[in-house]
Amino acid sequence: MELKVLTQEEINEVVSNEIIELINNSSKCVLGLATGSTPLGVYKKLVEAYQTNEVSFENVESFNLDEYVGLDSTNNQSYRYFMDHNLFNHINIDINKTYIPSDKETSENYYKRYDDKIENHGGIDIQILGIGSNGHIAFNEPGTSFDSLTHIVSLKESTIKDNSRFFNSIDEVPTRAISMGLKSIMNAKRIILIAFGKNKQEAIRCLFEEEANENLPASILKSHPNVTIYCDKEASSLLKINA
């Protein structure tokens, strides 16, 4: 894992530039996208680049990491709503080629089919990740098997508490989600994990100081050949090593 400590503005710039370069140099490109507050600056830069004709999303497809169970796509807390409003509605991506896992799919094979679909589309070229304060990636909470594929998860108390800032009250936060698994994420060709702020400093410290273990889901990334971890100063402040 490569570590880069930069300002938030620099990280948004560097990561969006890498995505733009990949799109401009490929006939077709598959992005792995994340929700939450962390990737918002990158999405803003991608929208700006589209508006100034630096990039076209015509030949881009996307797969999102996760979605809450029980929230309709019109619910402003759903991740479909988040992606439409923060990115898809502002660029020329074909909305039918933006995939988000959904609990509306009733086939018992659905979860496997989400992973199969990613594979059938050529696999994810760049996966963007945030990290939870408890070390989760996507909604893979501590204790999730490193062999997991897309599955339904029960959210931990710490995640419900972290995410309650987006809701009117903690009681409104869904307790279950559908999430790509850790193995699904590891199948991406390139992975970029971004961590901003003090709330992430302990998770980042553990990520660099602990051996890979299932109590720290992000630690699976240690065995991926092409990962960059971008941290701002606050998120990296407990690290002995520095970039």
- For ligand PGA, the binding residues (CB under 6 A) are 36-38, 130-132, 136
Least separation in angstroms between residue 122's CB and ligand PGA is 25
Residues designated as active site: 66, 134, 136, 141
Least separation in angstroms between residue 242's CB and ligand PGA is 22
When the beta carbons of 32 and 130 are compared against ligand PGA, the nearer one is 130
When the beta carbons of 56 and 199 are compared against ligand PGA, the nearer one is 199
Q: Cα 151 to chain center, whole Å?
A: 16
Least separation in angstroms between residue 235's CB and ligand PGA is 10
Least separation in angstroms between residue 135's CB and ligand PGA is 10
DSSP states along the chain: -EEEE--HHHHHHHHHHHHHHHHHT-SSEEEEE--SSTTHHHHHHHHHHHHTTS---TTEEEEESEEETT--TTSTTSHHHHHHHHTGGGS---GGGEE---TT---TTHHHHHHHHHHHTT--SEEEE---TTS-BTTB-TT--TT--SEEEEPPHHHHHHHGGGSSSGGGS-SEEEE--HHHHHTSSSEEEEE-SGGGHHHHHHHHHSPP-TTSGGGGGGG-SSEEEEE-TTTTTT-SS--
Angle at 232 between CA 226 and CA 233, to 5 degrees: 125
When the beta carbons of 29 and 221 are compared against ligand PGA, the nearer one is 221
Least separation in angstroms between residue 227's CB and ligand PGA is 15
When the beta carbons of 38 and 184 are compared against ligand PGA, the nearer one is 38
When the beta carbons of 132 and 181 are compared against ligand PGA, the nearer one is 132
Q: In the complex, which residue's CB is closest to ligand PGA?
A: 36
